[in-house]
Amino acid sequence: MSLHPRRRGAVAFQVVAVLWLTLVWVGLWGTLSPANVLAGLAIALLVVRGLPMPSIDYHGHPRLGRLLLLAGRLVVDLVVASTQVALLALGRRTPQSAVIRVRLRSQSDLYLTLTAQLVSLVPGSVVVEAHRISGTLYVHVLDVARTGIEAERRAVLAVEERVLLALASLDELDRAGLTGQGSLAVPASQHLPPKEER
């Protein structure tokens, strides 16, 4: 009797997690001995079996080209934003901060989490709250006066768009209003939710 593909994937993940945690344990102790490996293996099994990770509902299709584009754009955003924050710190102008609300296109927890993480990685913006049920992110922007609230909202939606184009299924892309399998997306400005106050 063979395992269901989803169950087989979960078992494979657990095996990899146990091996990784054992390796980390041995690395932390700095000694490769049978006792150290067995202790690491026992602790790794305890962690993996005792603290199981929740399953991720993913029906998407990763696209290598779009993943590379996503990573490349993240690097560009990191460099540009770091420079802007450094110039702001050296200048005399006091930044005007704001918390903006951005309603995402997708209702998936996975895409919401990835979008929130990528937005928070870029200096000058951090997600202060994520509302799963409505698919809404509340983002603190360091200097909203420089670009404006709507531009910052569009920037967050552009991050989500890149995540969806890199990872989402065709069905998910259609539901989000993005066309084609990783092809050009409809401009983000056409997907803005109704105007919301700060």
Same domain, 9 and 101: no
- Domains contained in the chain, number: 2
Q: Residue 139 forms beta bridges with which residues?
A: 100, 127
Contact indicator for 165, 143 with CB cutoff of 8 Å: no
Q: Are 26 and 41 in contact (CB under 8 A)?
A: no
| Residue at 56 is within a domain | no
Same domain, 145 and 167: yes
Residue 174 lies in a domain: yes
Q: What is the pLDDT of residue 126?
A: 95
Residues 41, 131, single domain; the answer is no
**Euclidean distance between CA atoms 103 and 194, whole angstroms:** 9
Q: Kindly state whether residues 26 and 83 are assigned to the same domain.
A: no
Positions of E strands within the chain: 98-103, 125-131, 136-141
In this structure, the answer to whether residues 28 and 79 fall within a common structural domain is no
pLDDT at 152: 95
Residues 91 and 44 in one domain: no
- pLDDT value of residue 59: 80
Q: How far apart are CA 139 and CA 193, in angstroms?
A: 16
Can you give the pLDDT at residue 4?
Answer: 52
Global pTM? Answer: 0.69
**How far is Cα 194 from Cα 198, in angstroms, rounded to an integer?**
13
Residue 58 lies in a domain: no
34-40 long-range CB contacts below 8 Å, 24 or more apart?
none
* Same-domain check for residues 46 and 88: no
Q: Which domain holds residue 20?
A: 5-50
**pLDDT tens-digit profile, the chain (198 residues):** 455 555 555 677 788 889 999 999 999 988 889 999 999 999 999 998 888 777 777 788 889 999 999 999 999 999 999 999 999 889 888 889 999 999 999 988 999 999 999 999 999 999 999 999 999 999 999 998 888 999 999 999 999 999 999 999 988 999 998 875 444 444 444 444 444 444
Asked, for residue 59, whether it belongs to a domain, the answer is no
Q: Are residues 75 and 9 in the same domain?
A: no
198 located within any domain? no
Same domain, 85 and 131: yes
Residue 185 lies in a domain: yes
Which residue's structure tokens are 């110039």?
Answer: 87
Query: To 10 degrees, what angle do helices 34-50 and 5-29 make?
Result: 140
Q: Which residues pair with 103 in a beta bridge?
A: 136
